[in-house]
Each structure stands twice: as C-alpha cells, then as structure tokens.
Amino acid sequence: MEFAELIKTPRVDGVVLHRPFMPTVEGTLCLTGHHLILSSRQDNTEELWLLHSNIDYIEKRFVGSLGTIIVKCKDLRIIQLDIPGMEECLNIASSIEALSTLDSVSLMYPFFYRPMFEVVEDGWNMFLPEEAFKEIETLTDEWRLSSVNKDFGVCPTYPQLVAVPKAVDDDTLRKVATFRHGGRFPVLSYYHKKNGMVMMRAGQPLTGTNGRRCKEDEKLINATLRPGKRGYIIDTRAINVAQQAKARGGGFEQEASYPQWRRIHKAIERYNILQESLIKLVEACNDQSQSMDRWLSKLEASNWQTHVKEIVTTACLAAQCIDREGASVLVHGTEGTDSTLQVTSLAQIILDPCCRTMRGFQSLVEREWLQAGHPFQQRCAQSAYSNSKARLEAPVFLLFLDCVWQVLRQFPCSFQFNEHFLVLLFEHAYASQFGTFLGNNAAERLKLKLPQKTVSLWSWVNRPQEMERFLNPLYEPNNLVIWPSVAPQSLLLWEGVFLRWNRSSKCLDEAYDEMVHIIEYNKELQSKVNALRRQLAQLETGDGLLETP
Amino acid sequence: MEHIRTPKVEHVSLIDRASPRKPCVGTLYLTASHSIFVEHDAERHRETWVLHSLVCLVEKLPTTPAGCPLLLRCRNFQVFQFIIPQEKDCQDVHASLTRLSRPERYAELYCFSFNPNTDKEAREEGWSAIDLQAEYRRMGLPNHLWQLTMANRDYRVCDTYPSDLYVPKSVTTPIVVGSSKFRSRGRFPTLTYYHRDNHATICRSSQPLSGFSARCLEDEQMLQAITSSNPGSSFMYVVDTRPKLNAMANRAAGKGYENEDNYSNIRFQFLGIENIHVMRSSQQKMFEVCDLRSPTMTDFLWGLENSGWLKHIKAILDAGVFIARAVAEEGVSVLVHCSDGWDRTAQACSVASLLLDPFYRTLKGLMVLIERDWVSFGHKFSHRYGHLDGDPREVSPVMDQFLECVWQLSLQFPCAFEYNERFLLHLHEQIHSCQFGNFLGNSQKEREELRVRERTHSVWAHLWMNRADYINPLYRPDHSQTQGVLRPATAPYCFKFWRGMYCRSEQVHQRPPTVTDVLTTVREESQQLEAELSAQQEVPRGTAHPPVLSCFLMMCKMEIKLCALHCIFYLLKCRFPCHRGEPESLLQGVARNKLKSSDPDLSTNSDQESGVTDLSCLSPSSGEDSVKDPDSDEAAYSTA
C-alpha cells in the first residue's frame, strides 16, 4: 500500500483526546491511509474516526516529552490529542500533514470506501440532465437539449448536455462559446412555469477594451425574449469591477448591442475575499475570552453577513424580475462558476417550491453546482484554519448553504429538509467518503470514472433510514413564491455551523425533539380520527343494509 | 375630553413603513383614551387602535404635496405615520395628541376609566390572584431561621418598601431601624429569595451611608445575622451591582459600599452594571439603528456595537449568574445592592431567582416574581416609564432589560419557560400603557394612597384569562430542561438582537408564521382532537341487547359520532382555511382574533421587510441601470 511509507508510527497508546463539550477519552491512536482513529477499547465510549481529508491544519506543542497536536478540521471543529513521547508525536504530526494534503484525487478515500449498505437507488443516475429536461419539455417547445459539448470541446466546464433555445443551432453555440469566458455560452438554468419566463447563466462576454461584439451571442439571448418584451442581465460584479475586466479581455454587454436588455450590477465578492472573510469569522467565533464590543466588531469586520445579504438580495432581484416583472433574466459574473451559481440556485429556491423538497434540492445542487461546473475540488481544498495562501479556495458553496439556511429560518414550514441536511452538505463538500463532490466539473468526473469507482452521496442520503434525520417535521408544501427579508436584523449568524463546536447544543436538540414529538402526536391523533371516520362510514353502509329489507 | 380639538379627521392615510407607496386611506378618530384609525376599504375594514398613554412622541414632519405627515412613536416601539390632508387638522391632532399622551395627574391615566365589564367581586378576585404572602410561604417562610418583621408596618421605617418583610429570626426592630438609618432611603437589608434546598438566600438593600469611614453597629449586626441564618456557610457575599468607579464616587457624597474590614465574614464584589442614564442613551442609540432606512449589514452591526445595548444585557445576566451560582452551587447567601436598590438590584435579584427556581419560569411564577422584586420593592414604575409628564432624566428602560434577559434565556433553554415571547412583549406594553393599576406610582405606599385596588383592575387577572395566547408550546413541566438551576452560557455570541421587541412595525400579515406559531396551532388542534376522542370513548358499547334495541342504540351512537366528527372537521377547517403552510391565511387568522380582544396593538409585532421591498431602495447607485418596480411595495405574499 502506497500510504505505508507516509505512516512512520501507525499506533500510539495512552493518547488523550479532548473534544468540545465531550468528556476526554484516553486510548490508542491509530493512523490508517485515510483515517485518524482513537479508540479507548471500552465498549461504551465513543471512538473518534476522523478523515485525513477533513484536517485543515495542525499545530504541535511540547511540554517535556508530552506532545500535543491540535487538529483543526475543515468542518471547523478543533480537537486536541495529547501524545506521550516526542518522537511519536512528531511522526504522527508529519504523517497527518502528508496524508491530509495528498495531491492525487484518485488516492482520496472515496476511491477506497466500500458502502456498508445496499445501494438501492444509484445517486449517480438520479439527476441526469436529460431527466431534468423532460419536465421542461412538457411545458414548452422553445428549448432543446444540445449535445454540442459532447466531448467537452466547446466548454470544458459544462456537462455534455445543455438546454438552449430551440431556434439556435449548434454552430451558433460554438461561435457564442468563443465570445464567452471559458466557453460558457448562455444556457437555460430555470424555467418559470407560471409565466414561461426563464433564467439563463453564462460566463462574461469577451468584449475587451475595444467593445467586441458577437452577433450570434445577441441572437442567442434575444431568442429567449417574447416579442416586445425586455430582459434583464444581472452582472454579479460591481460596475467598476466589470469595467476593469475589460482590460483583461472580459467585459459586459453594451447597451448598444443589447438594446432589449437592461443590465444591473450587484457586488458579490469572490475568491480570496470570501476566504479571508471566512477565516476572520471563524477566528471571531472561536475567541472565547472577548467582550461584547470586540465580538460585534469582529463579526462586522469579517463581512460574512454582508456577503450573505448581498447574495440573498441579488437572488431576490433575479426572482423579482422573473416573477413580478415577467421578464427573462441572464446572470453572469466573470467565469460564471461561482457568484453566478449562488444567484441562480438561490433564486430557484425562492421561486420554485420543488427546489424546497428533499429531492428537488439535491437535484438543484446537482444541476446548478456540480454539472454547472462549480470547481468544488479547488474551492473546498482548504477551510478556515489553513495558513497557506489561498489562491483558488473560497467558501462559495458554504455561503450558498448559509443563504438557504436564512430563507429556511424565515420560512420554517416551506422546506422539506432541515438544517442538518445543509450542515451535512457543507461537511461533505469539504471531506467525504462519497465521490459526489470530487473533481471540478463533469469532464473531470467522467475522466476519474467517479460513477463507477465511488459511491454517490445521494445513494446514501436517500435511504429511508438516513433521510429521516434530514426531514423537516414542520414541512407543509407551499406553492407560493417565498420572498425572504434581507433586512440586516433578519439575517442571523448561522450558529449551526459557526458556533456548532463552541456551545452545547443539548437544550436546542431537546427542543427539536420536543417539536418532533408535538407534530407526531398530532399526526397520531389525526389518524385515530380518520380511522373512526372510516369505521363510521362502514357502520353507515352496514346500517343501510340492515334497514332496507 | 377637553383636550380633543378635532374628534374625527377624514381621508387620512396610514403609511406602512415597509411599503410606503401603498398607504391605506381611512378616518382617524380621537377618543379620550385611543386614536382609532378605521380603514375605508370595504372588504378589510381594519381598525388600528393606539392608546394615548403608549405614545411617547408626536412629531409633525414637513408638509408634502400629499398632505401633512404626522408621526406617532410608541413606547412599545411601534411607529405610525399618518398623512393628514389639511394642515389645520394636522395641527389640531398634533396638539391634542401631544397633550393626551402626556397626562399630568394620575387621575388622567387610562386605568381609572378602563372598564372591562366585570363586577366588583371579579375585580377583587383579580387583585388577589397574585398573593405575595403565599409566595413567601411557597419558599418555606417563615421558618426557624427567618421571620416576618413588623418594623415597616404603615411604612414607618421605609416608605418605598412593602410593609411585610422578612429578616433573620435574631433581628429585632431596633436593629432594623438602626440599619435602615445607615442605608440610602432607609432601604435596609431584607430577604427577597430563599433557596429551600440549602437555606441560602438572596437579600437586597440600598447602598450603605458609609462615606469614607462611617460605621453602623446595627447594620453590621444585620449582615452578621443574615450570614448566621445560613447554617451551610460561614460567610456571605455582598454584591454591589454598580461599576466600582461609580460606587467610589458615591463615597464622597457620604454613601458608598461596605468595607470588608468592618463587617465580619463578608466577601465584597462589584458587578459593573451601568446606571439608568447610560442605559437610556444606549437604548436610544439602538433605536436609531432600527430606524435606519435600508441599512447595510455594516451599519446595523456597527450601530448595534456602538449602542452598547447587548453589552449591558450581558452585564445584567452575568450578575444574575454570579448570584445564582453563589446560592445554588456554593450555598452562600448574597446581599445585593446598587445605589437606591430599586433598579439594578431588582434586575440582578430577579434574574438570579429566575435561574434558581423553575417556578419563576412558569406563567404564574413570572407574575409573582415581578410583583415581588419590582412592584412590592418599590421599583419606580411611573418615573421610569414616564407615566406622567415629568423629568425625562428619570426615564430608563430598566424593566425592558429584565424582560430581554428572560428572552435571551428562553433562546438558550427553549423548553424551560412556560411563557412565550408574546407574553414578554405584552407585559412590556402593559407596563407602559397604564391600562391596569398594577404599575402605577413608584411604591406600594403610593398605590395604596391612589386606591388602585378599588379604582382600577389588575393586569395579572387579565393576562391569566388570556393565558392560552402566552403558552410556549415546547414547555413541559416534567422536561429535564425545566428542572433545577439554569446555567446559561454568557459568551458574547450567545446574545441576540431582539427583533420581536425592537422591530415592531405596523402590519403583521406579511410575516410568515414562526415555529412557535405553528407549534401552538398544532398543539391546540391536538388538544381538540384529544377532547373529541375521549368524548367518543365514553359512549358505551352495548351488544348484549335485543336486535331492535341494539340497532336503535347503534343509530344513537352513530349520531353522536357524526356530530363529533362534524365538530372536528369544522374545527380543522377553521384552523386551516387553505394550506397550513401558506403564511397569509394563518396569520390573518391571528390578526383577526387579536382585533377582537381588548388589545389591538399587540398583533403587530413583525418586521415584514421583504427582499422585494428592500430592492426598491437598493438599486445600485453607480446607476447605469436599476429596476424600477412600480408595485414593489405590494404585500410580498400576494403573489398567489
């Protein structure tokens, strides 16, 4: 096994584990190729199984011959291991460092993980583009599935099949692709059943400084407009950022070339700004000894909540254009793989009740994030504790989940899934035994043969016994568009993620159980009453028979 | 009545702050007690009632083409903006309301004219609903350690204390009198809470008149007696809830704090809660933040930090935690004081009691606690909440802070409190509104002089009658979270901004239902189903009858069942007119119910700023393009 050389000391006895809000455990520490395991070998104490890929950063300390390793995880948990013996401690530390930063994807745990459960429904086949398109086909014939990207030649980050206006042929698409960043020509993201309006997404147009035009691009997006109607282009960058992009060959749609479209700029931050924001926020949450002033000022300075507000606001804007204005919308930023997806996916949560169901939300993540080419592997390589200079890392998906949580909190009955499900997706996006979030786009996933070699997260989550934990007991289908409040006092810090390891959740968990109990008891009573009703109906017909002779 | 210049103004617009471009038009009536706005819309016919005594500021804004805007700010943090077409009418309404909202004499207050249609007996019963003697008995007093002292009969020793007070058994009247002379306003150390489990107590007083060196033998004896009436501990804590600097400054004025050297076996501690002036201006700053139109996240968080409000809430909760820990965990008695011992002392003692004793986390218990630590011990309600036109420097949100501490605790312990947020909000409103006589005046003595028991009604009876509205659906008396002492976390991030209290705007029907709303509805439904089911089980099941008779019985049974089922379906229909998940239907129901009850104002606690609404003012200022949405003010949920 190739990991063996990285593991100098596979086993240490007498290691003491400290975890937040849990009793300390003394036991044997074992390192395997993918896990750090601590077992006390007693029946009733919990063991620790930690994926190396979940480790963000480690710190070493020594007092005499007692070494301490502080393990900071990507799910924001911090644990401490006291290891007797300096050499053992150093060996363990260097092994963890090496094993948690393997550069080859195919060495990652999902390729070695064998499920302990029977895969009833294979998650890899659950949300295929052609399936998702079938429903749209029943509603409109203005769109078609194009296989222009079959070999990923037109756009390396798009899936093989994309939905485009029927009136536009594949040759036109190829030309448009040359005019859009990363070949990301405008494709269908969402079809609003109520009024037939659509949301599209793309990369920025490559107008450059001399205002290049592309007739095919104009034709493509104009093909989505109804006669005499205007559309909206939502550029997720502030106007000055978009202007600056011109110097690097990018840019935005000029009014002159797109007279039927109104462009709106919103300022959603990207990359390292988001990553720094996450680092600052987590640092503030972990500082136990601070005053109220310091906490509020650090929370403010992290800007995290500002990002949340900006994304929700922009998603509301997109939803408003579609639902209220009856206009079609094109969303893009620079690459169209980050802020664009935050906006298009959150707007769908607002507009489409299906996206608020368990399956619908999985389908949304699959469609608007995985197949749409959000580079999960790059973005989630490091989390809040990493010291290395972030280049491609950014908590883009975490911010999206945070926004969904905000809407869920404001509409506690309108979602079929609960907060735990969002937290689960956060964890698995950063470290997982499943292959779902590996790779950066459909092409990479195909090349890695993920569907053949790994198990899908969806295969596991959708088993009835797992799913139960993630269902919202208050759920009542709500077919309306839900408009969240974006006032600062309505947007809270997502404690379930950011304070999860800093406060005991016992009382809140108890409250959740109590809530489940109340709902279940009610259902039980309802079914009793229904049973009586049936009994009564039988009595009635029985009596009728008695009386007729 | 003589203050009402115009009893009725037509064609007035009421502006909803969330959607200012869609006003409702109607008629504004001024009565002796309320401003009533009746909407003209034939379908809705909504009424908005604003009690004059709840209005704290009437403001005339510059005239616009639409008319003269008139802003009413209420003490429960609601804001109403009317537009009155005629300048003259606006002036008249402004003048009338300004006068009506600032009564000069107690007799003008609403509680003396409020008549809820109950007879004399019911009123008296209402006043005896909360009985402090019963409360002391519940705690186990008097006993072999503590006795009722007669010293303050007829308020001879201290006119801001109640007449019935508990002191250690060994304390004689001369000691009480001597100690009271050594304490600000005669507020000598006396018991407020007795912890049955270990005999430790919380006592309260005002600051000693120690100056730099003064001593008082009786006061020292008093504290010694308190220490010795706790057999479990050889010392007691003396807690000064003020910041050390403030307490030291008081020494120059001949007041101050206890010198550990002069008292045997005390441990002295400062707790650092700021004074009423700091709290008043802090709350003011927080309102300014809430008032911002479309604030950014930075505006909001910076403003919140700058106001210092949550810091003060934390200081009060920290004080309560210190006292509760001393009593429950160390088994040590605590004497709590500040300057006069009626603001910070009341806060600290009542928060500590709440943490120590599950009783105070019940509906009845919170009433008792407020009656004991606040009403009976002379918290100056009329001064602090500006019941009468008076010195604005006496006004301070002391009680607001206590209620907020309760709310913050209920976030951490969602199953531990029998009452819900609505109860706290309603209580807050009653403290300011003077609809009932409980919070009139500044001491028990004043209330007796005002004869509130004969001339007004008790709020406790009223709240108790409507208790179904105030029950926390997650509360279960036998839940482990409900038992014993609460040990809250007080790290800064545990404290939240109380949106339900401070962001109350005019309309409720745009807010989606909260988890509490839904659970309350579900629980009520369950109770009705239970009742129906048990009613059915009582119908005897007879089969041993002759066929004809049994057939007859069966038919009877059927009829009963049918009847019951009809009831159930009817109830279900009422509960859920359409989808349960549809926000509008549920809340309109709530709003309607509320309008029928005597307090129309409470139904309006919400912040309905929707994304859509905000967008209209968030269009980019760099401004190449922006969405101009003609009806972006529309009710956010009317898209169905």
Q: pLDDT digits over B478-497, tens only?
A: 989 899 999 999 999 999 99
DSSP letter for each residue of B68-84:
EEEEEEETTS-EEEEEE
Domain A3-102 has CATH 2.30.29.30: yes
d(CA B567, CA A435): 54
B379, two tokens? 């918290």
B569, two tokens? 């379906």
Name which of A279-288, A375-384, A407-416, B43-52 the model is least confident about: B43-52
The answer to whether residue B585 scores a pLDDT higher than 60 is no
The answer to whether residue B639 scores a pLDDT higher than 80 is no
Residue B513 near residue B23 (C-beta atoms within 8 A): no
d(CA B116, CA B136): 31
Q: What are phi and psi of A123, to 5 degrees?
A: -60, -25
The answer to whether residue B606 scores a pLDDT higher than 90 is no
Cα A184 from chain centroid (whole Å): 21
Residue A314 near residue A267 (C-beta atoms within 8 A): no
pLDDT given for residue B22 in this prediction: 75
B403, two tokens? 């209620």
Print burial letters for A39-65: b (CB count within 10 Å at least 16), e (below 16). bbeeeebeebebbbbbbbbbebeeeee
pLDDT given for residue B614 in this prediction: 37
pLDDT given for residue B105 in this prediction: 92
Q: What does the DSSP 8-state code read for residue B328?
A: I
Question: Is B341 one of the annotated binding-site residues?
Answer: yes
* Alpha carbons within 13 A on the beta-carbon side of B376: 23
Q: Give helix B309-325 / helix B276-291 axis angle, nearest 10°.
A: 130
Residue B415 falls in the annotated catalytic set: no
Q: What is the pLDDT of residues A59-108, one digit of tens each?
A: 999 888 889 999 999 999 999 999 998 899 999 999 999 999 888 888 99
A10, two tokens? 């596979």
Of B561, B581, B624, the CB nearest to A413: B581
The answer to whether residue B586 scores a pLDDT higher than 70 is no
DSSP letter for each residue of A481-527:
------SGGG----HHHHSTTTS--HHHHHHHHHHHHHHHHHHHHHH
ipTM: 0.93
Confidence class for position B364, pLDDT limits 50, 70, 90 = very high
Catalytic residue among B90, B203, B338, B405: B338
Smallest CA–CA separation between A319 and chain B, in Å? 9
pLDDT given for residue B46 in this prediction: 81
Of A232, A316, A477, the CB nearest to B612: A316
Confidence class for position B603, pLDDT limits 50, 70, 90 = very low
pLDDT given for residue B144 in this prediction: 95
Q: Which amino acid is at B583?
A: P
Going from N- to C-terminal start, the domains of chain A cover 3-102, 139-504, 507-549
Residue contact B515–A515, C-beta within 8 A: yes
Q: Classify residue A439 as left (phi > 0), alpha (psi -120 to 50) or beta.
A: left
Closest-CA residue of chain A to B481: A507
The answer to whether residue B570 scores a pLDDT higher than 50 is no
Confidence class for position B547, pLDDT limits 50, 70, 90 = very low
Residue contact B639–A480, C-beta within 8 A: yes
Handedness of CA B153, B158, B164, B168 (dihedral sign): negative
Per-chain mean pLDDT for chain B? 83
Contacts of A279 (CB under 8 A, 6+ apart): A384, A385
Per-chain mean pLDDT for chain A? 92
The answer to whether residue B640 scores a pLDDT higher than 80 is no
Residue contact A412–B515, C-beta within 8 A: yes
d(CA B299, CA B307): 12
pLDDT given for residue A289 in this prediction: 78
Evaluate the omega torsion of the peptide bond into residue B142 and state whether it is cis, within 30 degrees of 0.
yes
Confidence class for position A3, pLDDT limits 50, 70, 90 = confident
Q: How far is CA B124 from CA A248, B127, B371, in A?
A: 82, 5, 17
Q: What is the pLDDT of residues B176-191, one digit of tens each?
A: 999 999 999 999 999 9
The answer to whether residue B556 scores a pLDDT higher than 90 is no
Q: How far is CA B421 from CA B283, B476, B510, in A?
A: 20, 16, 19
Closest-CA residue of chain A to B530: A525
* Burial environment of residue A18 by CB neighbours within 10 A (0 to 12, 13 to 18, 19 or more): middle
pLDDT given for residue A253 in this prediction: 95
Name which of A269-273, B235-239, B301-305, B585-589 the model is least confident about: B585-589
Print burial letters for A306-335: b (CB count within 10 Å at least 16), e (below 16). bbbbbbbbbbbbbbbbbbbbebbbbbbbbb
A66-73 β-sheet, strand order: A48-51, A35-39, A22-31, A11-19, A78-84, A66-73, A55-63
What mean pLDDT comes out for the span B570-599?
A: 35
Print burial letters for A169-188: b (CB count within 10 Å at least 16), e (below 16). eeebbbbbbebbbbbbbbbb
- Note whether B612 contacts A: Cβ–Cβ < 8 A: yes
The answer to whether residue B592 scores a pLDDT higher than 70 is no
Instruction: Show residues of chain A in contact with B522, CB under 8 Å.
Output: 518-519, 522
pLDDT given for residue B189 in this prediction: 97
Residue A25 near residue A46 (C-beta atoms within 8 A): yes
A542, two tokens? 């029985």
SS3 A137: helix
Q: What does the DSSP 8-state code read for residue A281?
A: H
Residue B386 near residue B392 (C-beta atoms within 8 A): yes
Chain A neighbours among B 516-575 (CB < 8 Å)?
A: 518-519, 522-523, 525-526, 529-530, 532-533, 536, 551, 554-555, 558, 561-562, 565, 568
Name which of A168-182, A334-348, A385-399, B36-50 the model is least confident about: B36-50
* Alpha carbons within 13 A on the beta-carbon side of B616: 18
Cα B338 from chain centroid (whole Å): 22
pTM of the model: 0.89
Confidence class for position A55, pLDDT limits 50, 70, 90 = very high
Residue contact B561–A481, C-beta within 8 A: no
Q: How far is CA B468 from CA B103, B128, B417, in A?
A: 33, 21, 14
d(CA A369, CA B149): 74
pLDDT given for residue B394 in this prediction: 95
Name which of A322-336, B7-21, B142-156, B564-578 the model is least confident about: B564-578
Smallest CA–CA separation between A454 and chain B, in Å? 39
The answer to whether residue B23 scores a pLDDT higher than 50 is yes
User: Are β-strands A187-192 and A197-201 bridged in parallel, bridged antiparallel, or unpaired?
Assistant: antiparallel
Closest listed residue to residue B77, CA positions, set B284, B275, B274: B284
Q: What is the pLDDT of residues B140-155, one digit of tens each?
A: 999 999 999 999 999 9
- Note whether B416 contacts A: Cβ–Cβ < 8 A: yes
Cα A101 from chain centroid (whole Å): 22
The answer to whether residue A189 scores a pLDDT higher than 90 is yes
Confidence class for position B621, pLDDT limits 50, 70, 90 = very low
Percent of chain A at pLDDT exceeding 70: 98
Closest listed residue to residue B433, CA positions, set B87, B44, B114, B28: B114
**Beta-carbon count within 10 A of B543 CB:** 7
User: Are β-strands A329-332 and A231-235 bridged in parallel, bridged antiparallel, or unpaired?
Assistant: parallel
Q: What is the pLDDT of residues A513-546, one digit of tens each?
A: 999 999 999 999 999 988 888 888 888 777 655 5
Contacts of B215 (CB under 8 A, 6+ apart): B259, B262
Name which of A241-255, B14-28, B85-99, B115-129 the model is least confident about: B14-28
Q: What are phi and psi of B586, to 5 degrees?
A: -60, -50
Confidence class for position B66, pLDDT limits 50, 70, 90 = confident
d(CA B307, CA A489): 15
> Greater confidence, B615 or B330?
B330
Closest listed residue to residue B607, CA positions, set A475, A494, A491, A318: A491
SS3 B204: strand
Q: What is the pLDDT of residues B502-536, one digit of tens each?
A: 987 644 446 778 888 899 999 999 988 888 888 76
Confidence class for position B18, pLDDT limits 50, 70, 90 = low
Q: Which amino acid is at A450?
A: L
Residue owning tokens 């359409």: B578
Question: Is B342 one of the annotated binding-site residues?
Answer: yes
Q: How far is CA B452 from CA A426, B44, B105, B108, B112, in A?
A: 60, 39, 14, 13, 8
Question: Is B154 one of the annotated binding-site residues?
Answer: no
pLDDT given for residue B537 in this prediction: 66
Smallest CA–CA separation between B279 and chain A, in Å? 16
pLDDT given for residue B587 in this prediction: 32
Q: Give helix B583-596 / helix B515-537 axis angle, nearest 10°.
A: 80
Closest listed residue to residue B193, CA positions, set B343, B351, B322: B351
Question: Is B275 one of the annotated binding-site residues?
Answer: yes
Q: What is the pLDDT of residues B427-439, one digit of tens each?
A: 999 999 999 999 9
Confidence class for position B198, pLDDT limits 50, 70, 90 = very high
The answer to whether residue B635 scores a pLDDT higher than 90 is no
d(CA B322, CA A48): 36
- Note whether A295 contacts B: Cβ–Cβ < 8 A: yes
Confidence class for position B630, pLDDT limits 50, 70, 90 = very low
Closest listed residue to residue A54, CA positions, set A509, A334, A437, A316: A437
Name which of A189-198, A385-394, A462-471 the model is least confident about: A385-394
Closest-CA residue of chain B to A304: B297
